[in-house]
Structure 1
């Protein structure tokens, strides 16, 4: 786990200098890194691999943690989004991380296998013909990737996360259609199906 103070990753400095990241987006990206690193238990780069990189290059890579990865990926992919859309993308990521914890914590291995199996079936279908059930299956597999690769279930959810999650669900019901990050129709995931976890 990275012990550095949460900050903007050096890989994004050029974007900041070019004016592609507003002050509001920078603050949200810093909060995103802090959030993801708080949820993630499994290291983004294993210690032995990190040592190999340092030995080969002489320096540590800029992307050391899951928080670094999410921060740089989201910034580079969605910097052109409006402030509102950008913030909603980040909120949906938080919603997904909490959902992954709630859905998969304590579940047996066969439950995970069934999720992967259903997603495999749905992926064999042209996305043009996906039903809501297909979207749900693929989204659940993404949440499972979060859960297993990041080790999300190894730490209990905080009270503040639970309260935020419930309030976010309430907000969805009140403003139905503005933002719908449900498991079967995630605003972020449905619009951005190519965003995947890619461990170094």
Structure 2
């Protein structure tokens, strides 16, 4: 245990060392640990909140949004480093089935979308592009700050684009496959709808591969 803590402390406390990504930090931690203690397989996992800038759709107000990120790196004897990154973003769903059978009236709910990618370091995308993929897969984006004109816009956009939770999951996978077609990645998607009129959540999951061929 002390060797792991020592490796992490040495890597994170070196203020003169610049890391290009969380994944590179994890690689250095594992490399440092391997010099102090031999092992066949090691893994470092970080769970953290990632802040990013956005703008409201009509008023153009700048907002800061937060999503959850889980990133892990595995070092295994005789194999390249493998990275596993998952981003979780808040959005919404609007039920098209109810809308079609209820004179345009329907139920809406907050939803969570997840995109997880697994691959080698050169294939791992930025968190920003993963966030964009998830956000565009919902009925509409959501925002921490909304003026009245923004609320009107978001509400209309939601009702113009009603989606079931399985639609959101399929959208995430399709957008990810299109965006990362030039990378070797295993990609997983999950959408969870926090149902407003049911006493349960609804979950959809899927998986797709890209092999680096355009």
More strand by share: 2
Query: Between Structure 1 and Structure 2, which shows a larger proportion of helix residues?
Result: 1
TM-score, normalized by length of structure 2?
Answer: 0.27
* Bigger radius of gyration among the two: 2
Which structure is higher in RCO with an 8 Å CA cutoff and minimum separation 6? 1
